[in-house]
Amino acid sequence: MQIHDVHQGIQKYKKRKRVGRGVGSGHGKTSSKGHKGHSSRQGFKIGALFEGGQITLARRVPKRGFFNGAFKKHYVLVNLGELDSFFPEAGVVDEAALRAKGLVKGYAHDGIKILGDGEVTKAFEVRATKFSASAAAKLEAAGGKAVVAPYVGKVAKQDEAETPGS
């Protein structure tokens, strides 16, 4: 090979294969799909994990451990620093108050967890599903209380919808 042959036949954009344009094109008649079989049929798509009929890698590898994803709990995380900045005076902070300030949105979760990131300077009485140890300690140190309250979720949403019409 000579140096001037290196880029011979290489183009920036490869021409697409034009199939079904007559036998003289080399890709006519069966359009390079062969005779019969599922791969020759119209609309055939092969799965990403298909390995020609052999057992796929995902099924060959031994399975270990346990995945509890169907029962995993998802909590809305709220930091103490956010409580201190969003609420100007001390008082009761519950789910309704957090929703009013926009810290909790939607109902696709299993509760509210208060985390200890940031400082708290006011004596809040916080009602949430869970508290981190540092958050509870910081609330107590500031003169507040950490009250564990069960999360009611969609029931609360229905109560809110019914109350204004009553």
Q: Domain locations in the chain?
A: 71-165
Question: Do 113 and 132 touch, CB atoms closer than 8 A?
Answer: yes
Question: Do 78 and 114 touch, CB atoms closer than 8 A?
Answer: yes
**78, containing H or E segment:** strand 76-79
pLDDT digits 0-9 by tens, 99-122: 999 999 988 899 999 999 999 999
Terminal-to-terminal C-alpha distance of the chain: 89
Mean pLDDT (the chain) is 88
Distance CA 99, CA 39 (A): 55
* Tokens linked to 33: 């799909």
For the chain, give the number of residues. 166
**128, containing H or E segment:** strand 125-128
Residue range 71-165, CATH number: 3.100.10.10
Taking only the tens of pLDDT, the chain with its 166 residues reads 788 888 888 888 888 999 999 999 999 999 999 999 988 999 999 988 899 899 999 899 998 988 888 898 999 999 999 999 999 998 999 999 999 999 999 888 999 999 999 999 999 999 999 999 999 999 999 999 999 999 887 654 545 555 555 4
Distance CA 157, CA 105 (A): 11
